[in-house]
Amino acid sequence: MWNMVVVALLALPAVTSGAPAPNGEAAAPGGAWRSRFTWHLEGKLGIRSSREVRLEGEYVPVPARSGGGPVLVRETPDSGSSLELSKIAVTFDAEITPDIRAGVKVHLLDLYDRNPTSSDDRVFLREAWVQFGRRDDVMTPSRENSLYLLVGKAPRFTKQRDRRLESYGLLSNAVGRFEQVQVQAGGGFGRHFYWRAHLANPNPLFFRDPNALAGDNGIPDAEIGSAYGTGFVMLYDAKAVDINFSGQFEAGGGAGLRFMSEDGSGSLDSFGWYFHRQLADRQPLRGTSISGDLELLLGGGIPLPISGRDKTELGFTTKGRIRDLRFYAQVAQQDIAGLKRRGYELELAYFFELPGLCASGDTPVVNWIQPALRYSSIDNLFTAPHDYPYPAIAWDWTKLDFGFRIGIIRGVDVTVEYSRHSMKLEEGGVLHPDEFLTTLRVSH
């Protein structure tokens, strides 16, 4: 994936630093365009407290089937309380001309995005892209037509970018969490209508625990040793591993409408989308012996009730604000090789600006607070065979997240949140592997 870094960095030597002009563009003397290069460093330190939930069953790990290995213990990835340095990331952004931008984001440490947690890459590339043309903010109606083309590794155009909590909801975890190597195009017609489309290298279908840590499944214990439990896993689109131009591509597109009040105090955006690809026979992933895509669904000889290899997603997203109130909603329906599931996610947040509750020298401290509430659900419309090694894939889930983010000073904030899980076992009963997170984020 490092060749994508090279693609974006090739554009950067021509970039010089420049202060932005009053209209937001970098201008040189005489009104000529002056390119800009910026960088951003972010670190996160947190306290995580995960409730211990443990189940033993007659499900044995796939590699141990022929040898009659021990029973598989399904448990919270890392129960109890931990102080963790969860993330260090650096982002580079270049505005080369008014219509050409490039960006690179590298995570030097990202504990919560590693899967398996113990044996996945410590350092990995999140974004590396070049964009031609202007991409309007979907929440800001444009007064003219627009068109852009983006090439590289970038988020799906359906991803919620303005996240208010550190945790993910069930649907945002399952669909489009990670970036894709893609060619993306989009544009707008007039003030209200816009469209998006992409052709992408698909991310592998895999599984993870929906709490902060993905857990360990299929890691080489003899070489590394597992520090974490398996977790209670759900199907999701994992990190992209390599670029593959010889396999199947994912095609997707959508269209939306956006509105804003005359005084700018309110806005509404509604967007419908659709994606399709074909699952590969197998998708190797780093750090695990378990393959993604169809081989995962076949369960080492005890398959889920699959048919074909088509994977489709149909969804609808709406978001907006009314003064300081923000809201977000998304619904989606998936068909994964005949395995159907549906989900939704609702989120509310309110931004309170504070006058600075105290001061450090001339700097006001505690300047804003934003409480947030999110409810999400995944309903799996299929049943897993009794001996399928990862039965949680077929469970129905609901998750309630609530918390608040406090702005301490510029570039420093703290998020406190609690996640209430309700996982409905097929054999009856409900599990609650709840989790509490406190995260200090520092950025420059």
pTM listed for this prediction? 0.87
Residues of the chain with pLDDT > 70, as a percent, come to: 84
For 2-443, CATH number out of 3.40.50.300, 2.40.160.10, 3.20.20.105, 3.20.20.20 equals 2.40.160.10
Q: Give residue 25's pLDDT.
A: 43
What DSSP assignment string belongs to 171-195? HHHHSS-S-EEEEEEEEEETTTEEE
pLDDT per residue over 374-433, tens digit each?
999 999 999 999 888 888 999 999 999 999 999 999 999 999 999 999 999 877 889 999
Q: Give residue 226's pLDDT.
A: 60
In the chain, where the domains are located: 2-443
Q: CA separation (Å) from 179 to 72, 273, 429?
A: 32, 17, 36
Distance CA 400, CA 421 (A): 7
pLDDT per residue over 136-157, tens digit each?
776 666 667 889 999 999 999 9
Please answer whether residues 400 and 13 qualify as being in contact, where contact means their C-beta atoms are separated by less than 8 angstroms: no
Class of residue 129 by CB neighbours under 10 A (exposed 0-12, middle 13-18, buried 19+)? buried
pLDDT per residue over 245-292, tens digit each?
556 899 999 999 999 888 888 999 999 999 999 999 999 898 899 999
Query: Does the pLDDT value for residue 311 go beyond 70?
Result: yes
Closest CA to 100 of 35, 183, 187, 181: 35
